[in-house]
Amino acid sequence: MMEQEVRYMKLAIDMAKQMVGQTSPNPKVGAVVVRDGEIVGIGAHMKAGEDHAEVHALNMAGDKANGATMFVTLEPCSHFGKTPPCANLVIDRGISRIYVATLDPNPVVAGRGVERLKQAGIDVHIGLLEEEATELNPFFNHFMKTSLPYVTLKAASSLDGKTATTTGESKWITGEEARRDVHHSRQEHDAILVGVQTIIEDDPQLTTRLPFGGKNPTRIILDTHLRIPRSAKVLNDREAQTLIITGSQVAMDQIEEIQSEYVQVIKLEAESIQIRSLLERMATIGITSIYVEGGATVHASFVKERCFQQLITYLAPKIIGGFTSPSIIGGAGIKYMDEAVDLQTISFEQIGDDLKIVSVLKEG
């Protein structure tokens, strides 16, 4: 019996999973309606501002929703947002039993949707495939709990941890497959962040280039004194929004000269850029996740302030060597081993010839 329920919830999770990169700032959610052992409605939330998963699935089910069982990966909403509350719709359409994988991660509203369903006499079951459903939305969950964007540090290096040669040459260390994987990660995040030195030396586009296109995240450049070359691609290609973060000392006329429909300068109140306050500021403009692509100096700042949740490392089976060639994290380093940042590796896989390692910061 339980096997059937697991199968339906898996279907809901699978549909949600496919919406990677397109629902932010909303979570990925899937829903399935089952009546007499027959799937009569399926749906996923596809885009913020558009119908929630429950609405799609219930509309598809039509009259058959009456007396049916529903499977949904996230607690139905109970507030009027851009769309009316799904909990009301579930009740109105006559669903008699519902399986909810996870409660709303926002502690302020968690349980409210479920409460409303229970009050209406619906048989509510919470926690089926909870872990898988939680893993659908690490960025959303983190943002709801902390009000700060989820930060991924990304680095690509040789097996000996080097990101460039002694003369600074770095193209390419990893293979094509690994570089394509980076484009998948880009489109999952709301923003990509680099230091101005990376712009000066590499002039990257920082866009998502996949066979079917893809969403371009906002590009964030840390540039205390507005040193960015006026010819930089991120200023001129009009492919995505670019946000340049500067310190307080940059003159207004310099800022006005660089701003355009696609380029915005955010001048912070401090003379230098503190990562923690930067993240707070980014949260206020709706950025819920950031993919930090380096360079080593910028990575070092995020590590020093412990302002990241995961590190994705691509290791290429090459040896570069050399005391002066850069490694993935720069900065001043530490003196004692007990100051080292402890991570926990959650996955590793071979991509082409390279190794992808995903590690998360140990909490607390």
The set of catalytic residues is: 54
Q: Which of residues 168-187 bind ligand NDP (CB under 6 A)?
A: 168, 170, 173
CB count, 10 Å around CB of 273?
19
Q: In this complex, which beta carbon is closest to ligand NDP, that of residue 85 or of residue 294?
A: 294
- Region from 86-94, 173-181, 217-225, 306-314 binding Zn ion, contact rule CB under 5 A: 86-94
Q: In this complex, which beta carbon is closest to ligand NDP, that of residue 92 or of residue 176?
A: 176
Q: Are 246 and 221 in contact (CB under 8 A)?
A: no
| Residue 276 is a binding residue for ligand NDP (CB under 6 A) | no
- Compute the least distance from the CB of residue 52 to Zn ion, in Å: 3
Residue 356's DSSP bridge partners are 314, 349
| Residue 205 is a binding residue for ligand NDP (CB under 6 A) | no
What is the token pair recorded at 218? 């906002």
| Alpha carbon distance 142, 149 (integer Å) | 7
- List the end-to-end C-alpha distance of the chain, in Å, as a whole number: 40
Q: In this complex, which beta carbon is closest to ligand NDP, that of residue 99 or of residue 308?
A: 308
Which of 40, 58, 65, 77 lies at the binding interface for Zn ion (CB under 5 A)?
Answer: 77
Beta strands in the chain (DSSP E): 30-35, 38-44, 69-74, 97-102, 123-126, 150-158, 191-195, 218-222, 242-246, 263-267, 289-294, 310-316, 343-351, 354-361
| Residue 198 is a binding residue for ligand NDP (CB under 6 A) | yes
Which of 52, 56, 162, 186 lies at the binding interface for Zn ion (CB under 5 A)?
Answer: 52
Could you tell me if residue 331 is left (phi over 0), alpha (psi between -120 and 50 degrees) or otherwise beta? left
- Give 167-180 as a DSSP string: T---TTSS-HHHHH
CB count, 10 Å around CB of 100?
24
| Residue 75 is a binding residue for ligand NDP (CB under 6 A) | no
Q: Are 74 and 40 in contact (CB under 8 A)?
A: no
Could you tell me if residue 121 is left (phi over 0), alpha (psi between -120 and 50 degrees) or otherwise beta? left
- Compute the least distance from the CB of residue 54 to Zn ion, in Å: 6
Which of 40, 129, 155, 329 lies at the binding interface for ligand NDP (CB under 6 A)?
Answer: 155
Site string for ligand NDP, 84-123 (x = CB under 6 A): ----------------------------------------
| Residue 89 is a binding residue for Zn ion (CB under 5 A) | no
| Residue 201 is a binding residue for ligand NDP (CB under 6 A) | yes
- Compute the least distance from the CB of residue 222 to ligand NDP, in Å: 4
Cβ neighbours for 282, distance < 8 A, ≥ 6 positions apart: 149, 191, 220, 290
Q: Which of residues 205-244 bind Zn ion (CB under 5 A)?
A: none
Closest CA to 101 of 127, 124, 125, 140: 127
What residue 77 binds from ligand NDP, Zn ion, none (CB within 5 to 8 A, per partner kind)? Zn ion
| Residue 156 is a binding residue for ligand NDP (CB under 6 A) | yes
Which of 90, 98, 122, 273 lies at the binding interface for ligand NDP (CB under 6 A)?
Answer: 273
DSSP annotation of 246: E
| Residue 90 is a binding residue for Zn ion (CB under 5 A) | no
- Region from 47-55, 133-141, 229-237, 297-305 binding ligand NDP, contact rule CB under 6 A: 297-305
Instruction: Give the CA distances from residue 236 to residues 183, 228, 239, 294, in Å, rounded to whole numbers and listed in that order.
Output: 21, 12, 8, 21
What residue 288 binds from ligand NDP, Zn ion, none (CB within 5 to 8 A, per partner kind)? none
Q: Which residues contribute to the site for Zn ion (CB under 5 A)?
A: 52, 77, 86
Q: Which residues contribute to the site for ligand NDP (CB under 6 A)?
A: 155-156, 163-164, 168, 170, 173, 194-198, 201-202, 222-225, 227, 273, 275, 293-298, 301, 330
